[in-house]
Amino acid sequence: KSPLGASCGTLVEATGRLLDRAKAQGAVTADASARELFVMAGSLAWAADRAKGLTLTIEPLNREDNPGYFLSDFDLAARVIDRVGRANLGLQCDAYHAQKVTGDALAVWAAQGRRAVHVQVGSVLGRHEPGAGGEIDFQALFARIEADGFKGWISGEYHPNGRTEDGLGWMK
């Protein structure tokens, strides 16, 4: 028996009956089967229900750096978060991955920022500190994040161009 009180066969059978419904609701993409999505959503709901007082995040990653990674689509992440529907599940929005996946990190924020509970930043070129070159207009991105009233954490996830201390000017 599972911690949910049902046998694994019962859970798989219930998931199987939901496949047609998932397809009808547009939950299937070229990269993700309905079964994978329902397993992911079910697992996240289960975890969120047991993580009282904690906030869980899901983070889409680009497939160039992470071949075979399941969640590489920010719109899919939003659909999963909405489907799970738990207040303690949100998006970890990494500007580096948003830019690599879509070519427009600011547009990703505009579309999905309301689901974000944590933001990570790093330039695309060499994955260095913001402003070290690359495709992201961090001044515009930070202004939009602030204008939208984001209250979560913003952290740097990058390889410093030189000494860490010398590359922290983006935090001003």
Residues 6+ apart with CB under 8 A from 44: 56, 58, 80, 84, 86, 89
How far apart, in whole angstroms, are the C-alpha atoms of residue 101 and residue 74? Answer: 8
* 127 burial level (CB within 10 Å; 0-12, 13-18, 19+): middle
The H-assigned helical ranges of the chain are 8-24, 34-50, 74-84, 95-102, 105-112, 138-147
Three-class secondary structure assignment of 69-98: CCCCCHHHHHHHHHHHCCCCEEEEEEHHHH
How far apart, in whole angstroms, are the C-alpha atoms of residue 52 and residue 19? Answer: 29
How far apart, in whole angstroms, are the C-alpha atoms of residue 128 and residue 162? Answer: 9
Q: Which of 13, 36, 59, 129 is catalytic?
A: 59
For residue 129, indicate whether it is catalytic.
no
For residue 135, indicate whether it is catalytic.
no
Q: Which of 64, 135, 146, 157 is catalytic?
A: 157
Catalytic positions are 59, 157
